[in-house]
């Protein structure tokens, strides 16, 4: 079974920290929703007959509409896309079908419309419950809008709701972050994603907060404390860490993202979307005009066995359950410790990795050094 990702690039506002391909209101192509859905449908028609190795109507375990802001898409256009997918894929009520939403683009009625189309999970980009920090981030919703969006989603019948937060913001204190966590858990969503702010090259934030001026952001010790506080506090509220930045009640883990971390296959459709099938990674073009003209082809990469091994490791180690040594052997036909013995021994001796039975996992210390460790494998 595979997962499907569809990229919807339209946004009301382009946030300063975001490096995803998106077009804010005011951009000359912002109003091309209908044209975009037609082009997306054409891409699906063009790629699926020859691009699916499993035959017609491939079983699907998850579908994820990301962006951008998919909740901006008119329900009628969203329905058109789901019907197009159903020409080539099949799923039932057990499949996880998710869309991302911005608080200012939804209402009880909009949530009900999407629920009636078969969506059973929503991920709401709250980011903070502090109006000052929302302004810093460039969000155009207020804290009250975020709270209302979660309440509206519940009223519309959604039970599987994710709430996105970001910590390590300019000027943010540990106490500020604790307040966000407190407010988030009071809304009683079964899933919370809590990400440390990353300054991506090419974004406005890269100019506002350059690496040469780290003092503009919380000091490293405070960011570490925010990270540790997140795990402690959410665990106390019944939301267990199952991945470095994701927390859920049992059974509410994001199955779509877990498929990525478990090195599963997925098809991506839409401008800038990526696919990973049969050892090949394919990324669509990041240019809406060219995409609308049918030129969606971007780049294709064949993953070498050694590269696949490294990706399997650094993705799987993000999960709390880590990776299976036996699974590595079955997938690649080689022993994990034969391939990476020296590196693994180094990090195990440092206390960053732990081997218990068949499972290799990050330790609490390793979580803080995860990026440094992952670089060793890619």
The domain that holds 211 is classified in CATH as: 3.20.20.70
Our measurement of the distance from residue 263's CA atom to the centroid of its chain's CA atoms, rounded to an integer in Å, reads 14
Our measurement of the distance from residue 208's CA atom to the centroid of its chain's CA atoms, rounded to an integer in Å, reads 25
Same domain, 202 and 106: yes
Asked whether the beta carbons of 70 and 8 are under 8 A apart, the reply is yes
Asked whether the beta carbons of 198 and 148 are under 8 A apart, the reply is no
The whole-number pLDDT of residue 51 equals 47
The whole-number pLDDT of residue 213 equals 85
Same domain, 235 and 368: no
Same domain, 242 and 348: no
Residue 111 DSSP one-character state: H
User: Which one, of 104, 91, 101, lies nearest residue 255 by Cα?
Assistant: 91
Q: How many CB atoms lie within 10 A of CB 185?
A: 18
Q: How far apart are CA 229 and CA 370, in angstroms?
A: 17
Same domain, 343 and 232: no
The whole-number pLDDT of residue 69 equals 96
89 forms beta bridges with: 58
Q: Please indicate, yes or no, if residue 20 is contained in any of the structural domains.
A: yes
Q: Look at the chain and report how many structural domains it folds into.
A: 2
What's the CATH number where 344 sits? Answer: 1.10.10
Q: Please indicate, yes or no, if residue 376 is contained in any of the structural domains.
A: yes
pLDDT tens track, the chain, 378 positions: 799 999 999 999 999 999 999 998 877 777 899 999 999 999 999 988 654 544 567 899 999 999 999 999 999 999 999 999 999 999 999 999 999 999 999 999 999 999 999 999 999 999 999 999 999 999 999 999 999 999 999 999 999 999 999 999 999 999 999 999 999 999 999 999 999 999 999 999 999 999 888 889 999 999 999 999 999 999 999 999 999 999 999 999 999 999 999 999 999 999 999 999 999 999 999 999 999 999 998 999 999 999 999 999 999 999 999 999 999 999 999 999 999 999 999 999 999 999 999 999 999 999 999 988 999 988
Same domain, 205 and 353: no
Q: Please indicate, yes or no, if residue 9 is contained in any of the structural domains.
A: yes
Domain that holds residue 170: 2-261
Write the CA distances from 363 to 164, 310, 348, 360, 374, integer angstroms: 25, 19, 9, 10, 14
The whole-number pLDDT of residue 310 equals 96
Asked whether the beta carbons of 166 and 176 are under 8 A apart, the reply is no
Same domain, 152 and 80: yes
121 forms beta bridges with: 98, 160
Q: Please indicate, yes or no, if residue 282 is contained in any of the structural domains.
A: no
Strands 96-101 and 121-127 turn out to be parallel
What pTM does this model have? 0.95
Which residue, of 243, 261, 279, is where some domain finishes? 261
Same domain, 249 and 347: no
Residue 360 DSSP one-character state: E
């Amino acid at each position: 079974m595979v997962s499907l990702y569809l990229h919807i690039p339209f946004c009301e506002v382009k946030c300063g920290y975001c490096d995803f391909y998106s077009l804010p209101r005011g951009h000359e192509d912002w109003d091309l929703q209908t044209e975009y859905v037609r082009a997306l449908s054409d891409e699906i028609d063009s790629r699926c007959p020859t691009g699916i190795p499993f035959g017609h109507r491939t079983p699907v375990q998850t579908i994820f509409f990301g962006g951008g802001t998919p909740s901006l898409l008119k329900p009628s256009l969203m329905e058109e896309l789901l019907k197009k997918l159903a020409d080539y894929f099949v799923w039932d009520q057990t499949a996880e079908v998710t869309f991302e939403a911005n608080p200012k683009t939804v209402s009880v009625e909009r949530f009900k419309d999407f629920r009636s189309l078969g969506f059973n999970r929503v991920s709401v980009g709250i980011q903070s419950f502090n109006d000052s920090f929302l302004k810093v981030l460039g969000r155009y919703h207020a804290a009250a809008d975020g709270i209302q969006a979660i309440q509206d989603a519940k009223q519309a019948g959604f039970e599987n709701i994710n709430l996105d937060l970001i910590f390590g913001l300019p000027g943010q204190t540990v106490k500020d972050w604790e307040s966000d966590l407190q407010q988030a858990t009071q809304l009683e969503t079964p899933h919370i994603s809590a990400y440390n702010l990353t300054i991506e090259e090419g974004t406005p934030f890269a100019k506002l907060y350059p690496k040469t001026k780290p003092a503009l952001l919380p000091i490293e010790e405070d960011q570490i404390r925010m990270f540790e506080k997140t795990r402690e506090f959410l665990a106390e509220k019944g939301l267990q860490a199952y991945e470095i930045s994701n927390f859920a009640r049992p059974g509410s883990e994001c199955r779509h993202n877990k498929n990525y971390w478990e090195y599963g296959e997925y098809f991506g459709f839409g401008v800038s979307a990526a696919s990973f099938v049969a050892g090949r990674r394919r990324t669509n073009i990041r240019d809406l005009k060219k995409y609308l003209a049918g030129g969606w082809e971007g780049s294709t990469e064949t993953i070498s066995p050694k590269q696949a091994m490294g990706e399997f490791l650094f993705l799987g180690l993000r999960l709390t359950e880590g990776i299976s040594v036996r699974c590595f052997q079955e997938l690649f036909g080689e022993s994990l410790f034969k391939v990476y013995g020296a590196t693994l021994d180094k990090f195990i001796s440092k206390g960053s990795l732990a081997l218990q039975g068949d499972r290799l996992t990050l330790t609490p210390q390793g979580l803080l050094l995860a990026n440094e460790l992952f670089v060793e494998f890619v």
